[in-house]
């Protein structure tokens, strides 16, 4: 077992509340609100009060498809988009690439970068790397930092969850000074690492679907929606987004996901090295979130409805779809039988650890 896992006891994952017997449907927004209130209502109330005058910067550390975006969405859901900002570096870079195709947006981007970018290659060379015109040059970290600063400058001061940076080992040192670069000079910063078995990532990738409107991810096998449809022509089931703003749009898979983790093996190994490197740092708080619990340890730590089930579907004679839920036991990276936790249960652990970090004396 990795040292950083040994130093963070499995008990940090505990979500059970003594005397609470209510079961919540964690796929429904109103049920999740009641769930979070029941599990960590006190911590949420005290953190909200703390956030009225304080913010922080968090760096998500986790293997690809470990759930960073999902956890960020739940934090926004709980604390409000007026308090939380999720900065996906991948989205930021893609947005900058798109802006270069619009003359007005291109001018605004170049004007900003001409003031804020500093690096070892020229701005023109960095733009060529962004647009893929120069495949010999990687997009420099200094350029990515300028894009992150630009994104943060667009919004009032908030709590920031940064997803996708550091992405390389040589970028870890940049994170130690990023809060100063973006003028959040008094904000604490924290690394939040996600421990997730590769088996779970593989299954998530192979069965993932995404809403084309709100971009919320779900899974045909592991994270269904209340409404499921059936495509008679393709002879396949599909999920219907449960966000009321999306008007029952059909969710779809992303190209290449059916290949599973073998297509990203090198990336997964680097992500693991990044987590190990970050946990060796001194002077920066670290939080470890566990996606799974060995089956032998589960009693007394989490409730059964917080464990990820497996879903299958049956087409009824009237063409309606019946969803069938069953137990899902996995192998964790240590080879133990384990249960994977649903995202809200992991977020409960995050809230508890943030409360301890920022309000340990309250």
Q: Which domain holds residue 334?
A: 3-83+158-359
CB 121 within 8 A of CB 137: yes
* Claim to verify: residue 36 and residue 143 sit in the same structural domain: no
The conformation of residue 240, written as its DSSP 8-state character, comes to: B
* 10-24 confidence digits (pLDDT tens): 878 899 999 999 999
Helix %, strand %, coil % for the chain, to 5? 45, 20, 35
Based on the structure, what is the number of domains in the chain? Answer: 2
Nearest CA-CA partner of 308 in 164, 229, 207: 207
* Claim to verify: residue 31 and residue 110 sit in the same structural domain: no
Q: Which residues contact 274 (CB under 8 A, 6 or more apart)?
A: 61, 166, 167, 168, 169, 172
CA atoms within 13 A on the CB side of 124: 0
Q: Which of residues 106, 137, 157 is at a domain's end?
A: 157
Element housing 362 (H / E): none
- Give the CA-trace dihedral at 264, 269, 275, 276, to 10 degrees: 180
Q: For each of the chain's 362 residues, which pLDDT tens digit applies?
A: 678 788 787 878 899 999 999 999 998 889 999 999 999 999 999 999 999 999 999 999 998 889 898 899 999 999 999 999 999 999 999 999 999 999 999 999 999 999 999 888 999 999 999 998 755 556 889 999 999 989 988 888 899 999 988 888 888 888 887 777 777 667 888 999 999 999 999 998 889 899 999 888 888 999 899 899 999 999 999 999 988 899 999 999 876 666 678 888 888 999 999 999 999 988 889 999 999 999 999 999 999 999 999 999 999 999 999 999 999 999 999 999 999 999 999 999 999 999 999 997 65
* Claim to verify: residue 175 and residue 261 sit in the same structural domain: yes
* Claim to verify: residue 151 and residue 10 sit in the same structural domain: no
**CATH code: domain of residue 59:** 3.40.50.300
Total-model pTM: 0.86
Query: What integer pLDDT is reported at residue 242 of this predicted model?
Result: 87
* 34-88 confidence digits (pLDDT tens): 999 999 999 999 999 999 999 999 999 998 889 898 899 999 999 999 999 999 9
* Claim to verify: residue 140 and residue 105 sit in the same structural domain: yes
* Claim to verify: residue 241 and residue 265 sit in the same structural domain: yes
* Claim to verify: residue 174 and residue 75 sit in the same structural domain: yes
Q: Which of residues 137, 157, 177 is at a domain's end?
A: 157
Could you identify the residue written with the tokens 């996995």?
330
């Amino acid at each position: 077992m990795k040292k950083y896992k040994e130093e963070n006891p499995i008990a940090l994952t505990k979500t059970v509340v003594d005397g609470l017997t209510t079961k919540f449907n964690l796929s429904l927004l109103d049920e999740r609100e009641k769930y979070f209130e029941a599990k960590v209502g006190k911590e949420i109330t005290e953190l909200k009060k703390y956030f009225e005058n304080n913010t922080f910067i968090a760096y998500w550390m986790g293997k690809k498809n470990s759930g960073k975006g999902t956890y960020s969405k739940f934090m926004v859901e709980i604390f409000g988009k007026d308090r939380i900002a999720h900065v996906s570096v991948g989205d930021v870079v893609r947005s900058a690439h798109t802006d270069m195709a619009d003359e007005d947006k291109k001018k605004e981007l170049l004007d900003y970068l001409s003031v804020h970018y500093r690096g070892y290659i020229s701005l023109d060379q960095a733009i060529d790397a962004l647009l893929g015109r120069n495949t010999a040059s990687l997009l420099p970290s200094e350029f990515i930092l300028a894009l992150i600063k630009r994104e943060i400058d667009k919004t009032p001061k908030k709590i920031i969850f940064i997803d996708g940076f550091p992405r390389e080992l040589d970028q870890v040192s940049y994170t130690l000074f990023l809060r100063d670069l973006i003028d959040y000079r008094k904000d604490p910063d924290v690394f939040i690492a996600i421990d997730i078995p590769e088996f779970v990532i593989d299954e998530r990738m192979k069965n993932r679907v995404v809403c084309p409107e709100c971009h919320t991810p779900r899974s045909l096998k592991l994270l269904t929606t209340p409404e499921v449809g059936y495509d008679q022509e393709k002879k396949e089931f599909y999920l219907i987004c449960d966000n009321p703003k999306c008007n029952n749009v059909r969710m779809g898979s992303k190209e290449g996901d059916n290949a599973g983790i073998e297509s990203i093996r090198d990336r997964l190994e680097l992500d693991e090295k990044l987590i190990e490197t970050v946990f060796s740092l001194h002077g920066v708080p670290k939080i470890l979130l566990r996606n799974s619990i060995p089956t032998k340890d589960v009693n007394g730590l989490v409730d059964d409805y917080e464990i990820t089930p497996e879903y299958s579907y049956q087409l009824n004679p009237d063409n309606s779809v019946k969803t069938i839920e069953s137990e899902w036991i996995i192998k964790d990276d240590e080879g133990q039988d384990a249960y994977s936790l649903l995202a809200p249960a992991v977020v409960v652990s995050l809230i508890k650890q943030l409360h301890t970090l920022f309000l340990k004396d309250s």
